Amino acid sequence: MKGYAWATCSIILVTLAQLLMKWGMQHLPLLSLRDISPSLLFSYPMSVLAVAGGIAGYALSMLCWFYALLYLPLSLAYPLLSISYALVYAAAVFLPGFNEPATVLKTLGVGFILFGVSLINKSHK
């Protein structure tokens, strides 16, 4: 059970990280590498903090993932990460500000991902 808890934490954190980075990047102007400077933080503080929060979320997600791997076989744990694809898709469709279109094919694809994860999970029990 510990492995599933750690995997769930990792999935949630990586989902939030993706959403934060997407939101932050949507609210930053197109920049070249030479445009990145400390003044960017003062010009776009929320956007830069969202991107930084996304990067931190990835780091925390990785720590949770290490613990998930201690308790779950890799053949079960790795497919669980695919759940984050479904969560990011659903959030991008339903949360205001992302305005991602929901299509039948995308939704069907997400359904296949979740179905595949459930098949793999059942085969391990």
From first to last of the 125 residues of the chain, give the pLDDT tens digit: 899 999 999 999 999 999 999 999 998 887 777 777 777 777 888 998 999 999 999 999 999 999 999 999 998 888 999 999 999 999 999 999 898 999 999 999 999 999 999 988 887 66
Which candidate, 18, 2, 9, 1, places its Cα nearest to that of 60?
A: 9
Per residue in 80-106, pLDDT (tens digit) is 999 999 999 999 999 998 989 999 999
Give dist(CA 37, CA 39) in Å, integer.
5
Contact yes or no for 86/59 (Cβ under 8 A): no
pTM above 0.75, yes or no: yes
* Domain range summary for the chain, segments of one domain joined by +: 2-123
